[in-house]
Amino acid sequence: MAPRPLKAVLTVAAAAALSLTAVPAQAADPDPLVWTELAKTYGATGLYAYEPYAVADGFTPTSCVPGVGYRYVNEENVGATDPETPAALLYEDSPYGRRLVAVEWTVKAESGVATPTMFGQTFQDPVGLPDLGSSYTLHAWLYKTNPSGLFNSTHPDVTCSADQDQDQDLSPDLDLNLGI
């Protein structure tokens, strides 16, 4: 039988090893200090898991792009490189409405603008975005684990529904009978 202090050390080591297997694969991508900054993003965007709150706060829905999802853009945040003010929220369809899967920072690629960086990541090369033109983007797949990486520009499992062009209320119809 092992002495008590050794047994305690082995127990802690085993618990630590088991807890590491529960961390999403993308969690190992960035430097651990990045998660401190990303915590600010979680705090600032978590309420947008309920899509109507995003619309109420000025995020305008656009069309769906396979691999990216439905972009909800807040024009006031375009150009910001603050963890708490992403320019877009990315959603996908789910049986219960639109589900928040990622956030996106966008900086217009104007003459003289250097490629921005955040979280130790360089923004993706400029792409043509509707209503914004050529822009640098950085995605963070905070709400849906991306097997291609936390900051990858696309997600292989995000698709667009066949009826994406129809305006429809995808919010769940909840009957909250509280008996009051």
pLDDT per residue rounded down to tens, the chain (180 residues): 555 555 544 443 443 333 333 334 454 556 778 888 999 999 999 999 999 999 999 999 998 999 999 999 999 999 999 999 999 999 999 998 999 999 999 999 987 789 999 999 999 988 888 778 889 999 999 999 999 999 999 999 999 886 544 444 433 333 334 343
| pLDDT at residue 163, rounded to an integer | 55
Q: Has residue 165 been placed in a domain?
A: no
Q: Has residue 71 been placed in a domain?
A: yes
Residue positions counted in the chain:
180
Q: Which residues in 77-92 are b (16+ Cβ under 10 Å) and which e?
A: bbbbbebebbbbbbbb
Q: Has residue 88 been placed in a domain?
A: yes
How many separate domains does the chain show? 1
Q: Has residue 154 been placed in a domain?
A: no
Q: Has residue 177 been placed in a domain?
A: no
Enclosing domain of residue 97: 25-140
| pLDDT at residue 35, rounded to an integer | 86
Q: Has residue 65 been placed in a domain?
A: yes
Instruction: Give me the residue label for tokens 């209320």.
Output: 169
| pLDDT at residue 83, rounded to an integer | 96
Q: Has residue 81 been placed in a domain?
A: yes
